[in-house]
């Protein structure tokens, strides 16, 4: 069993550290090397690998310094994105072994053209695709690609833990409540998140079972969601509802 720790970075990023039982570890999306190096030194850990989900600077900015400090580490990331430091480019469907656990690479285009995720040991590292109560902006892809990426994620086992890369939950809930003001699961989740954030605690990981009750971007077939976007689209098919939701969130 792998142990996951969060290393906060910048204003709201999470760098995820994956550790096995003998003080070896990997990190996911190290946008800044300094907090990673500090954590490794404090806990006397050895860095074996870096996993990258996409090319945005707040996810890869720390990679060159970490490679300089640990020249032999593996740097795994999406083949179809401009990341010069990769030693192991991967695509959808590829597998990698990490501390005895097999991780499957998921192609999750939408936020960026070549965005990927990693799922293994009932844990999903999904970068900026799925957030708690929200989803990433569509910056390089299309609504269809993001829609397909989210559907690929929701097909995973419902107890899968979701490790996204930002602490956006409170803001996402505010939007979700604008979409579904009478969603009792969402109201309860808002109160839980507010308590955690008041103590400066993380709201991540979430899990897929919970997200299906609170995340409007996974609830596009719910009558309450369809009704909420009816003034933005005359179409009621899932992709049109999802696209209208994402456009609404962009303005929110």
Q: Is the bond preceding residue 118 a cis peptide, omega within 30 degrees?
A: no
**What is the rounded average pLDDT for all residues in the chain?**
98
pLDDT digits (tens, 9 = 90+) for 13-29: 999 999 998 899 999 99
Residue 199's SS3 state is coil
pLDDT digits (tens, 9 = 90+) for 88-144: 999 999 999 999 999 999 999 999 999 999 999 999 999 999 999 999 999 999 999
What is the pLDDT at residue 86?
A: 97
Q: Are 216 and 241 in contact (CB under 8 A)?
A: no
Give domain 3-169+202-211's CATH architecture. 4-Layer Sandwich (3.60)
For the chain, the C-alpha Rg in angstroms (whole number) is 18
pLDDT higher than 90, residue 244: yes
* 57 is annotated as contributing to ligand binding: no
Q: Are 189 and 210 in contact (CB under 8 A)?
A: yes
* 115 is annotated as contributing to ligand binding: no
Mean pLDDT of 230-234: 90
What residues have CB less than 8 Å from 151, skipping those under 6 apart? none
What is the pLDDT at residue 205?
A: 99
* 3 is annotated as contributing to ligand binding: no
With a threshold of 0.95, does the pTM exceed it?
Answer: yes
As to burial, measured by CB atoms within 10 angstroms (0-12 exposed, 13-18 middle, 19+ buried), residue 38 is exposed
User: Hey, what's the torsion of the CAs at 82, 84, 88, 91, to 10 degrees?
Assistant: 0
* 59 is annotated as contributing to ligand binding: yes
Q: Are 174 and 215 in contact (CB under 8 A)?
A: no
pLDDT digits (tens, 9 = 90+) for 146-176: 999 999 999 999 999 999 999 999 999 999 9
pLDDT digits (tens, 9 = 90+) for 47-66: 999 999 999 999 999 999 99
Every domain of the chain and the residues it spans: 3-169+202-211
Q: Structure tokens of 252?
A: 């929110």
* 54 is annotated as contributing to ligand binding: yes
Strands (E) located in the chain: 3-9, 13-19, 24-28, 46-51, 74-78, 88-90, 95-98, 101-107, 116-120, 123-127, 130-131, 134-135, 161-164, 206-207
pLDDT interval class at 231 (50, 70, 90) = confident
Inter-axis angle of helices 238-251 and 169-179, nearest 10? 120
What is the pLDDT at residue 21?
A: 84
Mean pLDDT of 33-38: 99
What is the pLDDT at residue 22?
A: 87
Q: Are 131 and 172 in contact (CB under 8 A)?
A: yes
What is the pLDDT at residue 162?
A: 99
Tell me the percentage of the chain whose pLDDT exceeds 90: 97
pLDDT interval class at 1 (50, 70, 90) = confident
What residues have CB less than 8 Å from 13, skipping those under 6 apart? 29, 31, 32, 58, 59, 165, 166, 167
């Amino acid at each position: 069993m792998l142990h996951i720790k969060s290393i906060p970075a910048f204003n709201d990023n999470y760098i995820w550290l994956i550790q096995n039982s003998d003080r070896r570890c990997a990190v996911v999306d190290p946008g800044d090397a300094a907090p990673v190096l500090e954590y490794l030194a404090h806990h006397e850990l050895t860095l074996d690998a870096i996993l990258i989900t996409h090319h945005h600077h707040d996810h890869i900015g720390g990679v060159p310094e970490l490679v300089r400090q640990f020249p032999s580490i593996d740097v795994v990331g999406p083949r179809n994105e401009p990341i010069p430091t990769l030693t192991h480019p991967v695509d959808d469907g590829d597998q990698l072994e990490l501390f005895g656990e097999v991780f499957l690479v998921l192609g999750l285009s939408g936020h960026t053209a070549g965005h990927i995720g990693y799922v293994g040991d009932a844990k999903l590292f999904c970068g900026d695709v799925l957030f708690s109560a929200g989803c990433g902006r569509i910056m390089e892809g299309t609504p269809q690609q993001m829609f397909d990426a989210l559907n690929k994620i929701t097909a995973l086992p419902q107890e899968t833990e979701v490790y996204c890369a930002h602490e956006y939950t409170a803001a996402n809930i505010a939007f979700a409540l604008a979409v579904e003001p009478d969603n009792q699961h969402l109201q309860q989740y808002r109160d839980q998140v507010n308590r955690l954030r008041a103590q400066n605690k993380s709201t991540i990981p979430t899990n897929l079972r919970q997200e299906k009750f609170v995340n409007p971007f996974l609830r596009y077939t719910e009558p309450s969601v369809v009704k909420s976007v009816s003034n933005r689209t005359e179409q009621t098919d899932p992709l049109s509802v999802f696209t209208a939701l994402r456009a609404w969130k962009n303005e929110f």
